[in-house]
Amino acid sequence: MRFFAGLLILTLSGCGMAVSDKPMLEASDTAGAPQFADGVWLMPEMDEAADCAVDTAKPVSGWPDCATWALHRDGQWFARDGNSGIVTKPVPRDAVIVSNGDIAIVQLESDKSADDGGTVDPTPYNFIAFDNEPAAADKLRSIRFWIVMCGHYTESDADDEDAPATLVRFPGFDEKCRPASMQVLRDAARLSRPAASIDLPAFHWARAALD
């Protein structure tokens, strides 16, 4: 993933994620979509056992290398170039696209190559979602997101703890978890939303400039 890889780490193996071999969002889907505020954005720690405390009052050059951050400026994302320091590189604008709607969908395009061997990823598009109700009038400074799934898992035999879970796909998805339409994807985003009692991970604005 070129960018926002941390947003997808919660999926572990990625089984059950909605994917696509082509872009799903069109102009009508992005008209009036929420916009991110300019500045440095920070991901929360995904591993609660990890020690990666970040003092956002300090310049980013003083943050630990383990911090996952990105810079947003004038509608463009910039990712850290390498695993340390504050040198950034631009993320292609079509690699991160946000939809409109009460539930906004973020379309994330992965790297063209899935591994060092140069294998082309046949389904390079993944999706996360966040609540956008009421639709944001001001630029976003924080989102709490979840992964858009293509279905839900059910136990095939409740009396057998070793029985494999079965993926029951939402309507409109094929056997590879590809949606047939944008409406199918929007429905899946709604059906994928965790219960209100679950604390969703946040991606949030941290400071106006790197240093």
Which residues have C-beta within 8 Å of that of residue 108, sequence separation ≥ 6?
A: 1, 3, 4, 7, 8, 95, 96, 125, 126, 127, 128
The reported pLDDT for the residue numbered 51 is: 77
Read off the pLDDT of each residue in 33-39 and give the average, rounded to a whole number.
95
Q: What's this model's pTM, rounded to 2 decimal places?
A: 0.86
The reported pLDDT for the residue numbered 163 is: 66
Find, among 78, 59, 104, the residue nearest to 4 by Cα.
78
Give the Cα separation of 209 and 211 in Å (integer): 6
Range with the poorest average pLDDT among 14-23, 28-37, 98-107: 14-23
